Amino acid sequence: MKNIFSALLVLLTLLAAREVGRARNVTLAWNASASISAAGYNVYYGTASGTYPKKFSPGNVTSTTLSNLTEGATYYFVATAYDLNANESPRSTETSFIVPGVLSVSRSPSTSQRALLSFPVEPGHYYEVQATTNFQSWTSLWQTGVSSSNSWVQFSDSSSSALRSRFYRLALH
């Protein structure tokens, strides 16, 4: 059973599922084990690299959706295959995912009066930063290109230092 997982070199194609609310989902997919004795898979995950306090056993399928992930948090995942005697293969290569859905606003360190917006993006989407001073009319300030990876993006609002107050929202496309 030691080598059962060697065929699972590429772990987890991550596709974030959009959901309203504070918690988000992630869909994980992997290659099937080449071993005929593989009876199913376990997915281990946590919020620190190399530490996986949570375990999910989806059975004998090669994809699963994990729910109730915290927006803005980075999760780390590994998978194993197991046989009918519950013997597990070695863990796969770790992969990570930043859960989108949070917008952080702070002051830019280089120009202390500018608003610096940071947010995680998910592959296959682009994002639009919008601003208002009155909550009635929103102006598009900037947009990303279509993201090819899951990462944090930053935008510095050069006009924010001239305004008494400004409110932001992020549109996912």
Q: What digits encode the pLDDT tens for the residues 51-104?
A: 999 999 999 999 999 999 999 999 999 999 999 999 999 999 999 999 998 899
In the DSSP assignment, the letter for residue 161 is: G
What pLDDT score does 16 carry?
35
Above 70 in pLDDT, residue 148? yes
Question: Which phi and psi angles does 152 have, rounded to 5°?
Answer: -85, 140
Above 60 in pLDDT, residue 18? no
Q: What is the pLDDT of residues 36-45, one digit of tens each?
A: 999 999 999 9
**Are 92 and 126 within 8 A, CB to CB?**
no
Which stretches does DSSP call E strand in 1-93?
Answer: 15-17, 23-29, 40-46, 54-59, 63-70, 74-82
Of 168, 149, 146, 148, the residue nearest 157 (C-alpha): 168
Mean pLDDT, the chain, rounded, equals: 85
Least confident interval from 24-33, 80-89, 110-119: 110-119
pTM: 0.78
What pLDDT score does 111 carry?
59
Kindly report the CATH number that applies to the domain delimited by 15-98.
2.60.40.10
